[in-house]
Structure 1
Amino acid sequence: MMFRLKSHMGRLAVAVCLSVAAPVLAQQPRMAVVPTQTIYPGEEISRARLEMVEVTNPNLVKGYVSSIDEIDGLVTKRTLLAGRVIMASALREKFAVTRGSSVRLVFSKGPMTITAAGSPLQDAAIGDLIRVRNTDTGVIVSGTVMADGTIHVVAK
């Protein structure tokens, strides 16, 4: 069975479609963050080295950074080229502990707390689970990096 719209109904349908689509077409332009100069891996990102640009490529994949506030103070994992969109996957938090440094190990169970000196076997940010060598005994333990730079040891 086939239906046909009368000519005045067809015009009405087009008018309704245009009135609904108008707000969609009038959306704010998509914005992205780009560096103003090349930023190398391991460097901290600062506002002075970034700018906002309008996204003109409709095929740009999702995952790019759209606000300078999101990334101010983060560190790059790879080289960021000037004028190129910054992907969120290219950034990480600053390391709270670095490999080979001296840290305090803390183990707590109920009312008992044991502390010892340790040396991380890898770089890590706050909240990361890492392996740490107890410098007194040489035993390798796992623990979570805390905001104050201590490592809370996980019980086996």
Structure 2
Amino acid sequence: MRPDGLDARHRHPRVTAVAPRPARAPAPRPAAGRRALPASVLALAAAPAALLALLAVPAAAAQFVPVPSVVIYPGDVIRDGMLTEMQMPDDFAGRSAAVLDRGSLVNKTSRRTLLPNLPIPRNAIGEPKVVSLNAMVRIVYAEGGLTISTYGSALQAGAVGDVIPVRNLESGLTVAGTIGGDGAVHVASNGGPG
């Protein structure tokens, strides 16, 4: 050993003593019969509260926006009881593509999963489907005073006003037509939308 404290073979200072670790406060113990929650779960539980704190604004500079109160799945018809109102900043309408009117959501269908307490994007809702895939539908051809009606199989689901392909059950030909309010598919003379 050299006088400068370095070991000649290894060229590093010789450790003579280890400093004690500072004492840590003991972790809180759960009540008898319960398991402690991991810190990651506690952090996730605090996240919605932090988000709501960011969205909280004074009442004078706020508007109310409809949001789901429950999870709404794709294809579900949105009912009034599935919605609640959430306070948003006054400029929310200008910087958002969310639906702002509760009445425009009721009796519409969801195109994707809508989560509770989150604004509903305009492109996430649509008209209810009146024709489902492979459903038997009435095909109507009308021109002048002539009306021809037959049945076919819908090759696509659709709402009123949508153009869908339909296979004629008698001839096997596929035609495209517009779904009417009566649920029938109306075909134009050229086989296109009518």
TM-score, normalized by length of structure 2? 0.63
Does residue 98 in structure 1 map to residue 132 in structure 2? yes
Shift of 1:59: 6.3
Q: For 1:30, what is the secondary structure of its paired residue?
A: strand
The C-alpha deviation readout for 1:51-81, integer Å capped at 9, x for no partner, is 1111138567322111211110111011111
Q: Which has the higher relative contact order, 1 or 2, with Cα contacts under 8 A spaced 6 or more apart?
A: 1
Aligned length, in residue pairs: 131
Q: For 1:32, what is the secondary structure of its paired residue?
A: strand
Does residue 74 in structure 1 map to residue 114 in structure 2? no
The C-alpha deviation readout for 1:8-57, integer Å capped at 9, x for no partner, is xxxxxxxxxxxxxxxxxx97622211111111111111111111111138
Distance 1:65 1:59, change over 3 A: closer
Q: Which has the larger radius of gyration?
A: 2
Shift of 1:96: 1.2
- Quick one: distance in 1 between partners of 2:145 and 2:74? 43
Shift of 1:137: 0.7
Instruction: After the TM superposition, list the runs of 4 or more consecutive aligned residues in structure 1 that deviate by more than 6 angstroms.
Output: none
The answer for unaligned runs of 5 or more in structure 2 is 1-58
Shift of 1:110: 1.3
Q: For 1:89, what is the secondary structure of its paired residue?
A: helix
The answer for unaligned runs of 5 or more in structure 1 is 1-25
What letter is aligned with 1:128?
A: D
Corresponding residue number in structure 1 for 2:22: none
> Once superposed, what is the RMSD of the aligned Cα atoms?
1.9
- Quick one: distance in 2 between partners of 1:70 and 1:100? 29
- Quick one: distance in 1 between partners of 2:153 and 2:124? 28
Corresponding residue number in structure 2 for 1:149: 183
Q: CA contact under 8 A between 2:62 and 2:90: conserved in structure 1?
A: no
